[in-house]
Amino acid sequence: MNEIFKQQVWEITKLVPKGRVTSYGAIAKAIGFPNHSRHVGKAMGGCPPDVPAHRVISSSGTLSVPEFQKRLEAEGIVVENFRIKDFKKLFWDPMSEL
């Protein structure tokens, strides 16, 4: 994974609106690497503090990092058993919303 890939991941993530979530796979697809969701996850692991990593979750609506629950709830997102309630309604798809 190179620096350009990481920068692309972070730039897309910065566009996710407050109160919405997206998935690792959706970001991977948006930057042209549809089968690289794990690489997106790795890039998120070392992202700068201005990147809202808490808004990126698994495609099943489950939190990958349980510590992000408080940050999501502070944005009005309901989390039950580490799953986003109304995930489909809150899902932000960069392919259709950019």
Q: How far is CA 36 from CA 1, 7, 70, in A?
A: 10, 15, 27
Rounded to whole angstroms, the maximal C-alpha distance in the chain is: 35
In-domain check, residue 41: yes
R_g of the chain computed on alpha carbons:
12
Q: How far is CA 44 from CA 18, 58, 79, in A?
A: 17, 12, 20
Distance CA 22, CA 88 (A): 10
Residue 9 pLDDT class (50, 70, 90 cuts): very high
At residue 98, does pLDDT exceed 90?
Answer: no
In-domain check, residue 54: yes
Residue 85: which CATH number? 1.10.10.10
What is the domain extent for residue 57?
Answer: 3-89
Q: Tell me the whole-structure pTM to 2 decimals.
A: 0.94
Interval 14-69: pLDDT, tens: 999 999 999 999 999 999 999 999 999 999 998 999 999 999 999 999 998 999 99
What is the per-residue pLDDT for 1? 66
